[in-house]
C-alpha cells in the first residue's frame, strides 16, 4: 500500500480539471438551489448544451472557434429561458421533475442515431479544440511529487481556476447586493416577496439563466479539457454528484461549491486508488472473493450515495456551514 | 371633494346595506366571483372601501374573506369581476404590480423570511431599489447610498414597532406577535396607500394586542387606509370605523360596528343554531361573543 | 390491519402463481429462433449505433469505474421485428485483439445479441466475429467484414461495435399490423409502468415524498427474482413471488430505518427528496457492486415464439405479464376502495393532520403504504425481468417514465397514475410509427411530461390548491 501515491493521486484530482468542472457546475446550482431555492435537477442538460453549442458550431457548421464560444454561452441562456417560462411557476418538486426530464431528453437526442449527422451519435464530436490547445503557453507539464499535471492538464487547470475565481467574484458581488437579498427571500417564501412588489418570476428567471450559464460554462470547460463531447458525459448522475459537492461545501455560501468540489474529488479519487491498490497485486489486501478489481472502483460511489444522505440529514449546512442560515431545513 | 365626504366623516351618511356606496371610495368592485370546484367561495355583487378609514371584514369560517383578499391583491384569479383601485382598473393585475400601486397585504399565517435578519426583512420591503436590478447589483457604489437611506427608514420603523432590539436577530427567532409586527412594519416600507391585514391578532399574546391595536390606529392617523380580516371582536369593535360582513361568499351586511353587531342578518349568518332562541332576552353583544367563541373553537 | 394487508399481498402473489402456472408447460418448448422480447424498458438501444443501454446512469468517462469494455450488438437486419429493429443473434463467438494483434478478450453474444467484453485500457481494438459460430441460415452480408475496429474511448461498457448482417428485407408488414403490435406492446409496457406508478403514488400520497430512489425499488424486484432463480435455483414463478415478498419486507424496513426517523425529526420534504437521491445512488452502486453491470437473463421464458390471436401476436409470457399486472392493479384498487386500510390510506393522503387527530395511527398507515408501494414496484421489476432481462439500471431508466405517468395523471391520485401509465406506455411504443425516432422513443413521453406541467401542473385528474 503506497499512501503517498494515494494522497498525490487524490490531491492531483482535487485540484485538477475534473474538480473544476464540478466547481463550475456547483456554482450554478448554488445560485439555483442555495440562494434561490430552485430545484434544478437538470444541470447536466445545461452542461450538455454548453458543450454541444461549441462543438456543433465548430465541427458541424464549420464556423470559427470564437463563434463556437458565443454559441456555448447562448445555448444555455436559451435553454434557461425556454425551460423557465413553463416551469418557474411550478411547485419545487415539479420543477425538479421537469428539469431532470429536460436534461434526459437532451442527452437522448444528442446520442441518437437519427441525429448522428448533427450531434455525432453516441460517439459524440471531436476536433474543435485546436484553437484552445494552441493557446497553451506551457512547454511541458509539471511533476512536483504531490501533484502532477500533463502539459494539457496544466493549461486547463490554469484556465479553469481563473474561471472559478471569476465565478466566485460574480456570485459574491451579486449576493451581497439587494438583488441577492431578493433571491434569498424568494427561497424563504416567494408569496411574501410578491406581496412586497417584487416581480418574483423575473428574479427566478434571472437566477435560472445565471446558474444555467455557469452550468454551460462547466460543460464548455469539460469539452475543451478533454477535446471531445460525448452524450454519456452529461448523464443525470453528474447533476447528483454536483449536488453532493455543493452540499459538502455548504449551500448558499460563495466558496461552498468550490470547497465542496475539491473535497468531493479528493475523496472520490483517494477512495478509488485506495481500494484499487487494496485489491490489486498477487496477494491483495482485500481478498478477491470480497472485492475484485471492478468492484473496487464502485465502493466510492456507494460511499458518495451514503455521504449525500448523511449530509442532508445531519449537516445540511455543509461541513463548514452555519446552521442558522441554510438553504433548506434539515429538521 | 369637501371635507364631509372624506375619511370617517364621510361614512356618516352611508346606508347600512350590503354593497353600500361610499362618498370617497378607494376600492370599487363589481361581480367578483371565484369558485373552487362546485363551491362558490366568493360571490360579491358590489364592494366599496372608503378611503382613509379602518374597515373590518368579518364573517364565519369559509365565508370567503381570505379568498377575497387573495383576489383583490392578485394572488388568485377570479372567475368573473372587475375592480379598481384609486380609479384605475386593477383586476387581472399581477400580485407584485398590485403591491407597487400601493396596496400591500399581510398573511394569515405570518410570512416572515426566517433565514434573514429582521433588518434585512425590512430592507427588502423598500421599492424602487437600484441594487435590486441585475446589472447594477454587482457595483456597490451604484446602490450603497440608497441602501443607507433605506436602512435609516427601516430603523425608524423598527423603533416605532419596538423591534429595534431585535434588529440583527434572524426573523425565525421572533415570537408570533413580533412576527405580526415585523410583517406590518415591513409592509410599511413599501409606503402603501392601502394596507390589508389578514387576521393581525391571530396568535398574538394578550399583552401585545393592545399595542398592535395602537399601531393599526396609527396607520389610519397618518392617512393610510386599512382593511383587515379579524375574528377578534374586541379589535373589530374598538378600532374599526366600518364593518363589512361576509357569509357564504357574499356580503350580507355593512355598517358601523355597533349597527352591524345588532343586525339580525349578521347574527343569522354566524349562528344558524340560535334561530329559535328568544333574542330579546339576550344581550346582543353576548350573542355576538358566544358566536365568536364558537367560531374560535372550530378554527384550528 | 396487518392481517388485511398480508391478505392483500397474498392475493397479488396468488394471482402471480395462477397466471404463470399454465406457462410452465411451455418452458421446455421455447423456440430458439426469433425472440419476441422487444425491449419495453426505457432501454434506448436496439438498433446498431445507438447508445447502448448502459449510459443512463453509467459513470461517465471522467469519473467512471476503471473498467473499460466493448459492447457488441449482433443483429440480423434481414429479419426485422415489429419495431423495425434487426433480430438479435445469440451464441456467436467474438474475439477482441489490441493494436499489436494480441488477443485481450473474448465473448459470446447473449439472447439480445449483445456481448460486453472487458478490455484492459482505453485504446483501439479489433473485434472479430467467428463465422463458424453463426447459426444456420445466417451469413455475413457480402460487404460486411467479419471484423470491426472499435476505439475504446470511454470507461464503462459504452464502446460500441455493430455487425449488421444480411440484406435489409423489404418492409412487408402493413401499417395496421404494426399499429396492432405497437398497441399491444404499449399496453404491456403501460401496465408494467402502472405497477411502479401505483407504488410511487401510494408512497407519495401517504408521505408527500417525491421519491427519487423509486427506480431502485423496481430494480430490487428484478435482481431479487434473478438471485432467487439463478443462485437458489428456484423456478422463475416462485422466484418472482419471493422477489415481491423481499420487496415488501424492504419497503417496511426502509420506512422503519430511514424515513420514519426523518419524519420524527421533522425533516422537510425537499430535504427528504435529496436524501432519496443519495439513497438511490447508494442502492444503484450497491447493485452494480454485487450484480455487476452486465445484463443477465432469468433461466426460463427468455425467448418464446409469438402466437397469433387474431390481429395481434403475443408470446405466452407477454400474455401472462399483462394478466398478472391487470389482476394486481385491480386487486390494489379494490382494496383501496373497500378495505378499512385502503380508506385509512386515502384519508392520510388527503389530510395527515386530520387523520391523526381523528385517532388514526398515521405512522402505521404510512408503513403499510411503503410495504404495498415497494411490493408493487418490485412486481413491476419482476415482470420487466421476465419480459426482457435484468440489469442494475433497469429501474433507474424507468424512473422518469414513472414520474411522467404519475405527473400526467396527477400526483397522488390512484386513477391518475393508471391513466398516465397507459398514456405513457402507448406513447412510447406507438410513437415510432408516427415518426418518433425509435432509438429515442422515450423522448416523446418526456416531452409530454413537460407539456403537461406547462398546461396543467396538477395533472389531468388532479385538483388545484388554494394559496394563503
What domains sit in chain C, N to C, each tagged with a CATH number? 2-17+174-455 (1.10.3470), 60-165 (2.60.40.10)
Q: Name residue C118's beta-bridge partners.
A: C69
Chains in touch with A (3+ beta-carbon pairs under 8 Å) read B, C
Neighboring chain C residues of A312 at a CB cutoff of 8 Å: 271, 274-275, 278
Which H or E run contains B247?
strand B242-247
CA dihedral (A166, A170, A173, A174) in degrees, to 10, reads -170
Supply the mean pLDDT for chain C. Answer: 75
Give pLDDT, residue B289.
58
Query: Residues of B at the A interface (Cβ-Cβ below 8 Å)?
Result: 73, 75, 94-97, 99-100, 104-107, 111-116, 120, 123-125, 127, 129, 131-134, 137-140, 143, 147, 170, 186-187, 189-190
Neighboring chain A residues of B186 at a CB cutoff of 8 Å: 196
The x, y and z cell numbers of residue B57, run together, are 371584514
- Distance from the Cα of A112 to chain C's closest Cα (Å) equals 6
**Model confidence band, residue B275 (pLDDT cutoffs 50, 70, 90):** very low
Neighboring chain B residues of C466 at a CB cutoff of 8 Å: 36, 67, 70, 76
Q: Please state which of the ranges A13-22, B128-137, C270-279, C358-367 shows the lowest mean pLDDT.
A: C358-367
Which residues make Cβ contacts (< 8 Å) with residue B159, sequence separation at least 6? none
C322, C188 contact by CB (below 8 A):
yes
Give pLDDT, residue A305.
92
The x, y and z cell numbers of residue B7, run together, are 375619511
Query: Residues C308-358: pLDDT tens digits?
Result: 777 777 888 889 999 999 999 999 988 888 888 888 877 787 777 777 777
Query: Residues C29-84: pLDDT tens digits?
Result: 333 333 333 333 333 333 333 333 333 333 333 333 445 677 777 766 655 555 55
A99, A86 contact by CB (below 8 A):
no
CB contact under 8 A, C278 and A305: yes
Of all residues in chain B, the one with the smallest CA distance to C353 is B300
| Interface size between A and C, measured as CB pairs under 8 A | 212
pLDDT at C206 over 90: no
Would you list the domain boundaries of chain A? 3-314
| Rounded-to-integer distance, Cα C309 and Cα C180, Å | 11
Check if B91 contacts C (Cβ < 8 Å). no
The x, y and z cell numbers of residue A95, run together, are 420543477
| Rounded-to-integer distance, Cα C241 and Cα C341, Å | 23
Domains of chain B and any CATH numbers:
17-112+190-270 (3.40.50.300), 113-173 (no CATH)
Give pLDDT, residue C33.
36
CA distances from A77 to A50, A199, A235 (A): 9, 20, 20
| Rounded-to-integer distance, Cα C104 and Cα B114, Å | 62
Q: How many CB atoms are closer than 10 A to CB A285?
A: 13
Check if A331 contacts C (Cβ < 8 Å). yes
CB contact under 8 A, C468 and B37: no
Closest Cα partner for A315 from A226, A259, A244?
A244
| Rounded-to-integer distance, Cα A176 and Cα A105, Å | 36
Rg of chain C, C-alpha, whole Å: 23
Rg of chain A, C-alpha, whole Å: 20
Give pLDDT, residue C166.
46
Closest Cα partner for B186 from B130, B100, B105?
B105
Query: Backbone phi, then psi, for B27, in 5-degree steps?
Result: -115, 130
- Residues A95-119, mean pLDDT to the nearest whole number: 90
CB contact under 8 A, B147 and A173: no
Query: Backbone phi, then psi, for C88, in 5-degree steps?
Result: -70, 150
**Model confidence band, residue B184 (pLDDT cutoffs 50, 70, 90):** very high
Chain C 365-404, CB below 8 Å of chain A: which residues? 400, 403-404
Cα dihedral A111, A116, A121, A125 sign: negative
Higher pLDDT, B293 or B67: B67
CB contact under 8 A, A101 and C450: yes
| Rounded-to-integer distance, Cα C250 and Cα B63, Å | 47
Give pLDDT, residue A268.
92
Query: Residues of C at the B interface (Cβ-Cβ below 8 Å)?
Result: 463-464, 466-468
Of all residues in chain A, the one with the smallest CA distance to B98 is A197
| Pairing, β B225-229 against β B194-198 | parallel
Answer CATH for A3-314 from 1.10.3470, 1.10.530, 2.60.40, 1.20.140: 1.10.3470
C123, C152 contact by CB (below 8 A):
yes
pLDDT at C99 over 80: no
The shortest CB-CB distance from A121 to any of C49, C275, C404 is to C49
Listing DSSP states for C235-269 in one string gives: -HHHHHHHHHHHHHHHHHHHIIIIIHHHHHHT--H
Higher pLDDT, B16 or A39: A39
Give pLDDT, residue C161.
60
Q: How many CB atoms are closer than 10 A to CB A195?
A: 29
| Rounded-to-integer distance, Cα C74 and Cα C110, Å | 9
Give pLDDT, residue C136.
59
> Looking at residue B170, what DSSP letter applies?
B
The x, y and z cell numbers of residue C32, run together, are 430458439
Query: Backbone phi, then psi, for C115, in 5-degree steps?
Result: -135, 135
CB contact under 8 A, A188 and B120: no
Query: Residues B58-84: pLDDT tens digits?
Result: 988 888 898 999 999 999 889 999 999
Mutation target vs A (from C47, C49, C51, C197; most A CBs, 10 A cutoff): C51
| Rounded-to-integer distance, Cα C392 and Cα C57, Å | 10
Check if C177 contacts A (Cβ < 8 Å). no
Closest Cα partner for C442 from C18, C45, C29?
C45
CB contact under 8 A, B187 and A198: no
The shortest CB-CB distance from A185 to any of B116, B127, B143 is to B116
CB contact under 8 A, A174 and B111: no
Query: Residues C373-431: pLDDT tens digits?
Result: 999 999 999 999 999 889 999 999 999 899 888 888 776 677 888 888 998 999 898 88
Cell 421599492 -> residue: B127
| Rounded-to-integer distance, Cα B178 and Cα C153, Å | 63
Give pLDDT, residue C311.
76
Q: How many CB atoms are closer than 10 A to CB C161?
A: 25
Which H or E run contains C448?
helix C442-455
CB contact under 8 A, B138 and A178: no
Give pLDDT, residue C374.
97
Supply the mean pLDDT for chain B. Answer: 85
> Looking at residue B59, what DSSP letter applies?
-
| Rounded-to-integer distance, Cα B12 and Cα B24, Å | 12
- Residues C124-147, mean pLDDT to the nearest whole number: 66
CA distances from B247 to B42, B70, B164, C190, C448 (A): 9, 17, 40, 48, 42
Give pLDDT, residue B285.
54
Which H or E run contains B225?
strand B225-229
**Model confidence band, residue A321 (pLDDT cutoffs 50, 70, 90):** low
Share above pLDDT 70 across residues of chain A, in percent, rounded to a whole number: 97
**Model confidence band, residue C162 (pLDDT cutoffs 50, 70, 90):** low
Query: Residues C256-305: pLDDT tens digits?
Result: 999 999 998 888 888 898 899 999 999 999 999 999 888 888 888 877 77
Neighboring chain A residues of B190 at a CB cutoff of 8 Å: 196-197
CB contact under 8 A, A182 and B116: no
> Looking at residue C60, what DSSP letter applies?
P
CB contact under 8 A, C464 and B66: no
Give pLDDT, residue C355.
77
C163, C401 contact by CB (below 8 A):
no
Closest Cα partner for C116 from C314, C307, C391?
C391
Check if A175 contacts B (Cβ < 8 Å). no
Neighboring chain A residues of B116 at a CB cutoff of 8 Å: 181, 184-185, 188
- Residues B27-45, mean pLDDT to the nearest whole number: 89
The shortest CB-CB distance from B108 to any of C463, C464, C468 is to C468
Chain C 62-81, CB below 8 Å of chain A: which residues? 62-67
Share above pLDDT 90 across residues of chain C, in percent, rounded to a whole number: 29
Neighboring chain C residues of B75 at a CB cutoff of 8 Å: 467-468
Cell 468540489 -> residue: A261
| Rounded-to-integer distance, Cα C153 and Cα C123, Å | 6
Burial of C361 (0-12, 13-18, 19+ CB in 10 A): middle
| Rounded-to-integer distance, Cα A292 and Cα C436, Å | 42
Rg of chain B, C-alpha, whole Å: 20
Check if C120 contacts A (Cβ < 8 Å). no
pLDDT at A323 over 70: no
pLDDT at C444 over 70: yes
pLDDT at C125 over 60: yes
**Model confidence band, residue B56 (pLDDT cutoffs 50, 70, 90):** very high
- Residues A251-255, mean pLDDT to the nearest whole number: 90
Q: Please state which of the ranges B237-251, B277-291, C388-402 shows the lowest mean pLDDT.
A: B277-291
- Provide, for chain C, the percentages of residues in helix, strand and coil under a 3-state DSSP scheme, each rounded to the nearest 5: 55, 15, 30
Check if A326 contacts B (Cβ < 8 Å). yes
Q: Name residue B43's beta-bridge partners.
A: B33
Neighboring chain B residues of A36 at a CB cutoff of 8 Å: none
Give pLDDT, residue C52.
34
- Distance from the Cα of B107 to chain C's closest Cα (Å) equals 7
CB contact under 8 A, A196 and B186: yes
Q: Is B12 helix (H, G, I), strand (E, B) or coil?
A: coil
- Residues C197-210, mean pLDDT to the nearest whole number: 89
Higher pLDDT, B10 or B272: B10
**Model confidence band, residue A245 (pLDDT cutoffs 50, 70, 90):** very high
Q: Please state which of the ranges A9-18, A300-309, C58-67, C385-394 shows the lowest mean pLDDT.
A: C58-67
**Model confidence band, residue C21 (pLDDT cutoffs 50, 70, 90):** very low
- Residues B115-124, mean pLDDT to the nearest whole number: 94
Neighboring chain A residues of C437 at a CB cutoff of 8 Å: 112-115
Amino acid at each position: 500500500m503506497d499512501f503517498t501515491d494515494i494522497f498525490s493521486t487524490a490531491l492531483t484530482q482535487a485540484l485538477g480539471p475534473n474538480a473544476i468542472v464540478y466547481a463550475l457546475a456547483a456554482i450554478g446550482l448554488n445560485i439555483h438551489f442555495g440562494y434561490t431555492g430552485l430545484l434544478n435537477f437538470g444541470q447536466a442538460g445545461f452542461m450538455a448544451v454548453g458543450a454541444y453549442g461549441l462543438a456543433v458550431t465548430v465541427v458541424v457548421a464549420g464556423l470559427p472557434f470564437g463563434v463556437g464560444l458565443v454559441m456555448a454561452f447562448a445555448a444555455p441562456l436559451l435553454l434557461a429561458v425556454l425551460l423557465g417560462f413553463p416551469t418557474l411557476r411550478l411547485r419545487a418538486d415539479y420543477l425538479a421533475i421537469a428539469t431532470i426530464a429536460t436534461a434526459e431528453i437532451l442527452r437522448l437526442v444528442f446520442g441518437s442515431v437519427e441525429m448522428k449527422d448533427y450531434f455525432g451519435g453516441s460517439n459524440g464530436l471531436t476536433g474543435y479544440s485546436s484553437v484552445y490547445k494552441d493557446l497553451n503557453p506551457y512547454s511541458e507539464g509539471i511533476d512536483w511529487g504531490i501533484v502532477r499535471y500533463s502539459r494539457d492538464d496544466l493549461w486547463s487547470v490554469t484556465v479553469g481556476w481563473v474561471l472559478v475565481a471569476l465565478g466566485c467574484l460574480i456570485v459574491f458581488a451579486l449576493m451581497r447586493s439587494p438583488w441577492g437579498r431578493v433571491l434569498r427571500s424568494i427561497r424563504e417564501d416567494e408569496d411574501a416577496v410578491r406581496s412586497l412588489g417584487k416581480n418574483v418570476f423575473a428574479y427566478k428567471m434571472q437566477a435560472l439563466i445565471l446558474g444555467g450559464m455557469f452550468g454551460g460554462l462547466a460543460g464548455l470547460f469539460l469539452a475543451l479539457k478533454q477535446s471531445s463531447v460525448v452524450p454519456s458525459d452529461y448523464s443525470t448522475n453528474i447533476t447528483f454528484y454536483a449536488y453532493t459537492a455543493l452540499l459538502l461545501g455548504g449551500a448558499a455560501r460563495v466558496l461552498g461549491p468550490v470547497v465542496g468540489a475539491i473535497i468531493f474529488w479528493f475523496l472520490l479519487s483517494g477512495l478509488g486508488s485506495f481500494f484499487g491498490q487494496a485489491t490489486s497485486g498477487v496477494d491483495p489486501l482485500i481478498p478477491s472473493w470480497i472485492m475484485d478489481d471492478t468492484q473496487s472502483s464502485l465502493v466510492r460511489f456507494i460511499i458518495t450515495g451514503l455521504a449525500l444522505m448523511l449530509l442532508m440529514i445531519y449537516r445540511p449546512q455543509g461541513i463548514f456551514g452555519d446552521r442558522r442560515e441554510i438553504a433548506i431545513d434539515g429538521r | 371633494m369637501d371635507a364631509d365626504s372624506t375619511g370617517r366623516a364621510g361614512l356618516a351618511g352611508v346606508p347600512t346595506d350590503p354593497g353600500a356606496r361610499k362618498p370617497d371610495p378607494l376600492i370599487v368592485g363589481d361581480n367578483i366571483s371565484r369558485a373552487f370546484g362546485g363551491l362558490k367561495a366568493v360571490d360579491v355583487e358590489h364592494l366599496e372601501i372608503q378611503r382613509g378609514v379602518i374597515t373590518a371584514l368579518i364573517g364565519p369560517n369559509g365565508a370567503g374573506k381570505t379568498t377575497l383578499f387573495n383576489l383583490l391583491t392578485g394572488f388568485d384569479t377570479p372567475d368573473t369581476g372587475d375592480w379598481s383601485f384609486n380609479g384605475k382598473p386593477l383586476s387581472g393585475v399581477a400580485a407584485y404590480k398590485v403591491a407597487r400601486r400601493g396596496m400591500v397585504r399581510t398573511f394569515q399565517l405570518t410570512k416572515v423570511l426566517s433565514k434573514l435578519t429582521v433588518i434585512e426583512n425590512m430592507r427588502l420591503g423598500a421599492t424602487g431599489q437600484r441594487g435590486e436590478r441585475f446589472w447594477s447589483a454587482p457595483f456597490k457604489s451604484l446602490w450603497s447610498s440608497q441602501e443607507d437611506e433605506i436602512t435609516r427608514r427601516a430603523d425608524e420603523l423598527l423603533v416605532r414597532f419596538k423591534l429595534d432590539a431585535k434588529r440583527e436577530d434572524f426573523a425565525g427567532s421572533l415570537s408570533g406577535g413580533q412576527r405580526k409586527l415585523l410583517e406590518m412594519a415591513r409592509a410599511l416600507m413599501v409606503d402603501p396607500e392601502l394596507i390589508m391585514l389578514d387576521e393581525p391578532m391571530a396568535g398574538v399574546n394578550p399583552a401585545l394586542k393592545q399595542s398592535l391595536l395602537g399601531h393599526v390606529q396609527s396607520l389610519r392617523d397618518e392617512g393610510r387606509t386599512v382593511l383587515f380580516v379579524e375574528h377578534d371582536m374586541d379589535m373589530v369593535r374598538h378600532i374599526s370605523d366600518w364593518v363589512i360582513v361576509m357569509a357564504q361568499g357574499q356580503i350580507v351586511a355593512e355598517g358601523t360596528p355597533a349597527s352591524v353587531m345588532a343586525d339580525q342578518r349578521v347574527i343569522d349568518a354566524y349562528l344558524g343554531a340560535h334561530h329559535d332562541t328568544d333574542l330579546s332576552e339576550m344581550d346582543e353583544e353576548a350573542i355576538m361573543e358566544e358566536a365568536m367563541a364558537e367560531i374560535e373553537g372550530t378554527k384550528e | 390491519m396487518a392481517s388485511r394487508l398480508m391478505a392483500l399481498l397474498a392475493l397479488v402473489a396468488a394471482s402471480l402463481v395462477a397466471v404463470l402456472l399454465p406457462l410452465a408447460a411451455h418452458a421446455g418448448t421455447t423456440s430458439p429462433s426469433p425472440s419476441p422480447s422487444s425491449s419495453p424498458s426505457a432501454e434506448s438501444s436496439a438498433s446498431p449505433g445507438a447508445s447502448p443501454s448502459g449510459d443512463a446512469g453509467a459513470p461517465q468517462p471522467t469519473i467512471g469505474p476503471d473498467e473499460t469494455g466493448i459492447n457488441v450488438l449482433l443483429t440480423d437486419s434481414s429479419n426485422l421485428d415489429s419495431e423495425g429493429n434487426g433480430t438479435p443473434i445469440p451464441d456467436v463467438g467474438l474475439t477482441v485483439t489490441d493494436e499489436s494483434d494480441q488477443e485481450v478478450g473474448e465473448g459470446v453474444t447473449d439472447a439480445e445479441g449483445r456481448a460486453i467484453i472487458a478490455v484492459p485500457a482505453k485504446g483501439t481494438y479489433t473485434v472479430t466475429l467467428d463465422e463458424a459460430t453463426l447459426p444456420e441460415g445466417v451469413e455475413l452480408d457480402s460487404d460486411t467484414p467479419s471484423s470491426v475496429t472499435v476505439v475504446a474511448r470511454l470507461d464503462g461498457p459504452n464502446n460500441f461495435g455493430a455487425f449488421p448482417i444480411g440484406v435489409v428485407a423489404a418492409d412487408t408488414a402493413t401499417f395496421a399490423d404494426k399499429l396492432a403490435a405497437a398497441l399491444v406492446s404499449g399496453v404491456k409496457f403501460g401496465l408494467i409502468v402502472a405497477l411502479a406508478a401505483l407504488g410511487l403514488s401510494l408512497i407519495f400520497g401517504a408521505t408527500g415524498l417525491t421519491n427519487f430512489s423509486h427506480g431502485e425499488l423496481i430494480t430490487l424486484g428484478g435482481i431479487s427474482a434473478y438471485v432467487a432463480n439463478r443462485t437458489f435455483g428456484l423456478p422463475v414463478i416462485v422466484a418472482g413471488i419471493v422477489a415481491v415478498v423481499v420487496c415488501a419486507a424492504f419497503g417496511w424496513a426502509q420506512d422503519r430505518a430511514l424515513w420514519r426517523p426523518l419524519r420524527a425529526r421533522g425533516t422537510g420534504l425537499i430535504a427528504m427528496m435529496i436524501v432519496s437521491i443519495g439513497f438511490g445512488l447508494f442502492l444503484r452502486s450497491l447493485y452494480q457492486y454485487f450484480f455487476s453491470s452486465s445484463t443477465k437473463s432469468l433461466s426460463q421464458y427468455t425467448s418464446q415464439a409469438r402466437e397469433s390471436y387474431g390481429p395481434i401476436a403475443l408470446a405466452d409470457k407477454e400474455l401472462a405479464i399483462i394478466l398478472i399486472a391487470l389482476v394486481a392493479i385491480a386487486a390494489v384498487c379494490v382494496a383501496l376502495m373497500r378495505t378499512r386500510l385502503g380508506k385509512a390510506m386515502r384519508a392520510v393522503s388527503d389530510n395527515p393532520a386530520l387523520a391523526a387527530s381523528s385517532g388514526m395511527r398515521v405512522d402505521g398507515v404510512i408503513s403499510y403504504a411503503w410495504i404495498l408501494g415497494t411490493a408493487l414496484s418490485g412486481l413491476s421489476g419482476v415482470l420487466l425481468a421476465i419480459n426482457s432481462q435484468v440489469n442494475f439500471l433497469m429501474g433507474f431508466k424507468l424512473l422518469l417514465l414513472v414520474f411522467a405517468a404519475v405527473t400526467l395523471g396527477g400526483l397522488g391520485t390512484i386513477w391518475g397514475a393508471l391513466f398516465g401509465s397507459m398514456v405513457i406506455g402507448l406513447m412510447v411504443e406507438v410513437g415510432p410509427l408516427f415518426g418518433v425516432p425509435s432509438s429515442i422513443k422515450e423522448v416523446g413521453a418526456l416531452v409530454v411530461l413537460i407539456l403537461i406541467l406547462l398546461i396543467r401542473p396538477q395533472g389531468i385528474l388532479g385538483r388545484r390548491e388554494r394559496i394563503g
